Structure formats: C-alpha cells, structure tokens
C-alpha cells in the first residue's frame, strides 16, 4: 500500500490556555495519497478551513496545537520552525485561498505575484520568472497571457482572478494543493470551468488535492474520497460514491437531503437540517451533533462516539450507527 503524502493524525487545536482553553479542532484524522483528491465538507463553522490553515502552519492568533501530528512527505510539519515552513509553503505545499480579490495584492501586477515564489524558491532571475509566469497563465487557460501578465487584479474578472490564484499556487510544481472553497462566489458556468481546470491539472501534473467546500456537487465532480466534518472533528469518511449511495452519519444524510437535485420536482422544497452549527465556545457535551440529530439516543448527549471502521475505506462516529 502506498504511504500517504499527507497524514493528519489526532489533531487538536485550542484557543487560549489552561482552564480557559477552548478546543476548536478535536482530534482530526485525514490522509491523502499521491495523486488523490480528498474532499473536506461541512457547514461553515465545522472546522474545515481551520484544519487546512493548521496543516499549512498558519495558526490563528492565540491558538495552539495541543496534540497530534501533521505528516507531509515523511516530515512532521508541527515540528518545523517558521523558517522551514516558509520554505515548504508555496513550494512543495501550496494553497488557493477563498477570496482571490483579497488574497491577491491589489497594487502588484499578477505576473509579479506569480513570479515571486519562483524567484524565492527556485532562484529564477526576474526575466526567467516572468517567462514562467506567462507560461503559468497559459497553463490555467487565461487568454493572451503575454498581455494579462501585466494586469492588476481589478482588471480581471472573478474567474480570471481565480485562475491566477491557481497559476500562482502551482508555480513551483507543488506535491499537494489545498483548495479552500475554490468556486465560491463564481457563477455556475465559471464554477464548472474551474472544476474542469483543477481536474485536468491534477491528471497532467499528478497533483494531490485537498478540496474544502460546503458544495457536495463540487465533491462529486472532483474527489475520490470525502471526509465530513462537524464540531471540529471528522464524523464520517468514505469513498465518494459510497457516501452518495449510502451515507452513514445522520449529518451526512442531512447534507445530502438538503442538496438540490436536477431531477427534483420544481414545487418540492429542499429538506433542511434543524438548528445551526454551534459556536466553538458553545459546543454541547457528548456528540456535538446530537441537538440537531433526528436519530439521537440517550447516550449521545453524554459521551462522544469514537470513529469506527465500517467497511473498506469507511469510518463513522455515531452511536446510532452502532445499534442499527
């Protein structure tokens, strides 16, 4: 069996210290193999982006990792110094952030922004980095890249800015790309183009991808496996087809029921999950989903279920599943 490129093991992250510490990540376990795409899904506040930022060593203010490992290509990133992490970020490990308009520097040409990691990590000259930047813009399908390389971000459409972010993230041929909501705020046509682009680049470059989204349609188009997060932990992990055919966790079932279906009658209302994701300071005892769960048992409010293997490549943390 091929060793995973990335393995997050028992990751716990807390805000504050001592008795006042509040755990936001509560034992996250995920892994991604070479050339594989893992989808991380859940509502806002489930811990998806926080997991990604912690993996990159970009810890929020006043937070600290209290347990776990983040193994990347055989190295524990949590043991790396900031200087060592800076050498990895943008080089072997890269990320596309949610909002390209805020992630891109508004007063720098996009070509300069793509060239920066090339000069820093690969030592290219200014001229060679500019040439490579043009090649990267062409790679991600931006028309007339020789002219666009001198554009400012505000001179580009939302779809072009997202493509530019992808070009920048892939400039140094990373092994792993983390894509945080890469299709958010884009119209349906542009979303489809970005998904097609990422899938094509993955095949062409042999990329591993961690894609973070609340959109199960994106997961269906891109991911090999999916990990469902709620309350700062993974509650279900499954091959994508198995999750869509037979979700095991009540939260996964709720997410799927609330996803629009092209075959759905126009007059039918979408199902919803009652309640809302609790704030990290107000997580309930036991299983954090139990106040919203239609299948809850008495034990659910008292004790958090452990993740259990329930078949090839499938894990679930649910008391109701244990007795079903």
Q: Per residue in 264-316, pLDDT tens?
A: 555 567 778 888 888 888 999 999 999 999 999 999 999 999 999 998 889 99
Write down the pLDDT at residue 31.
Answer: 95
User: Parallel, antiparallel, or unpaired for β 176-180 and 93-96?
Assistant: parallel
The dihedral built from the CA positions of residue 295, 298, 304 and 309, taken in this order, carries a sign that is negative
The percent of residues in the chain predicted with pLDDT above 90, rounded, is 73
Tokens of 178: 């983390």
Q: 0.75 exceeded by the pTM? A: yes
Span 54-69, average pLDDT: 91
Tell me which of 102 and 49 has the higher pLDDT.
Answer: 49
Question: Alpha-carbon torsion 43, 44, 50, 56, what sign?
Answer: positive
Q: Give the confidence band of 322 by pLDDT, cuts at 50, 70, 90.
A: low
pLDDT score for 124: 94
List the single range of 124-128, 134-138, 158-162, 176-180 with lowest mean pLDDT: 158-162
Query: Closest by alpha carbon to 111, among 57, 156, 76?
Result: 156
CA 50 to chain centre: 9
Query: What mean pLDDT is predicted for residues 29-44?
Result: 95
Q: What is the DSSP letter of 290?
A: G
pLDDT (0 to 100) of residue 287: 95
Tens of pLDDT along 261-278?
Answer: 655 555 567 778 888 888
Supply the pLDDT for residue 79: 93
CA distances from 259 to 5, 21, 50, 274 (A): 31, 35, 24, 15
What pLDDT, on the 0 to 100 scale, is given for residue 324?
47
State percent of the chain over pLDDT 70.
96
Spatial contact of 89 and 70, defined as CB atoms under 8 Å apart:
no
**Which pLDDT score is estimated for 261?**
66
Mean pLDDT of the 66-83 span: 94
pLDDT of residue 182: 87
Residue 98 CA to residue 212 CA, distance in Å, equals 10
Average pLDDT over the chain, rounded to an integer: 90
Look at residues 9, 6, 24 and name the one whose alpha carbon lies nearest to residue 73. Answer: 6
């Amino acid at each position: 069996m091929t060793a995973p490129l990335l393995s997050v093991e028992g990751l716990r992250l807390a805000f504050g210290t001592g008795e006042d510490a509040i755990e936001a990540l509560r034992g996250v376990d995920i892994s991604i193999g070479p050339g594989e795409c893992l989808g991380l899904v859940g509502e806002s506040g489930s811990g998806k982006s926080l997991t990604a930022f912690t993996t990159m060593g970009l810890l929020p203010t006043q937070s600290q990792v209290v347990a776990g490992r983040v193994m990347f290509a055989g190295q524990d990133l949590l043991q790396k110094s900031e200087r060592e992490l800076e050498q990895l970020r943008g080089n072997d490990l890269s990320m596309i952030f949610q909002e390209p308009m805020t992630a891109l520097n508004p007063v720098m040409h996009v070509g300069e922004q793509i060239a920066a990691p090339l000069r820093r990590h690969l030592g290219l000259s200014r001229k060679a980095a500019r040439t490579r930047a043009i090649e990267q813009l062409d790679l991600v399908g931006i028309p007339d890249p020789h002219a666009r390389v001198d554009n400012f971000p505000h001179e580009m459409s939302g779809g072009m800015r997202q493509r530019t972010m992808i070009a920048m993230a892939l400039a140094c041929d990373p092994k792993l790309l983390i894509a945080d909501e890469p299709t958010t705020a884009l119209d349906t046509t542009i979303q489809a183009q970005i998904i097609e682009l990422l899938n094509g680049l993955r095949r062409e470059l042999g990329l591993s991808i961690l894609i973070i989204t609340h959109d199960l349609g994106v997961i269906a188009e891109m991911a090999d496996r999916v990990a469902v997060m709620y309350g700062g932990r993974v509650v279900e992990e499954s091959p994508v087809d198995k999750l869509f055919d037979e979700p095991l966790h009540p939260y996964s079932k709720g997410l799927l029921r609330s996803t629009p279906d092209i075959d759905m009658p126009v007059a039918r209302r979408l199902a919803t999950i009652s309640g809302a994701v609790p704030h990290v300071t107000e997580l309930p005892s036991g299983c954090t989903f139990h106040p919203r769960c239609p299948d809850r048992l008495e034990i659910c409010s008292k004790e958090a279920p452990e993740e259990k293997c329930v078949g090839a490549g499938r894990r679930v943390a649910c008391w109701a599943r244990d007795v079903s």
